[in-house]
Amino acid sequence: MSELSREALLEIVRGVWERHDPMPDHLVATMQAAAAVADSDLDLELMELVERSTELAGARGSTSYTLRFVHGDTDLLLRVAVDNGSSRVDGWIVPAEPMTIRALPGEDPADVEAVTTESGRFSLTGLPVGLMRLRLEPHDAGRPAFATPTFEI
């Protein structure tokens, strides 16, 4: 057989490592999600948290509390409820405006989103418990998206 060229040897090295220490299957998707979140955060204005209710403990381990965020003229009121591990967020945007509300959970790139009703209400259900933020995308293309700071469910 012919003498192995430098390229052929490096090709062998590459193949060996790809088989013996392969990149974890999930890695590309995880990195795409992390990069995309960081990218969308760059030009994203943050809402300001202006009010937070104390937790209202309900029966059998359910809790709920409310948060109020402000950004410019937009008010966002959230009621966050956790009941036995499943959680939901009910929101109300004032003044009412057509928007897509997207949940950006900390690590899970699960895409939970909702569109506001005519009265400015929306709800997101089946959210993972943990750190979370909401991205608000006005349907008026002239208005840039903005987001809440991270809060915990």
Would you say 50 and 70 are in contact if contact means Cβ atoms under 8 Å apart?
A: yes
Q: Is 10 in the site for other proteins (CB under 8 A)?
A: yes
Reduce the DSSP state of residue 23 to 3 states and report it. coil
Quote the least distance from Cβ 46 to other proteins, whole Å.
Answer: 16
> In whole angstroms, what is the distance from residue 15 CA to residue 140 CA?
50
- Binding to other proteins by residue 131, rule CB under 8 A? no
| Furthest CA-CA distance within the chain | 77
Site string for other proteins, 28-67 (x = CB under 8 A): x-xxx-xxx-xxx-x-------------------------
Which residues contribute to the site for other proteins (CB under 8 A)?
1-4, 6-24, 27-28, 30-32, 34-36, 38-40, 42
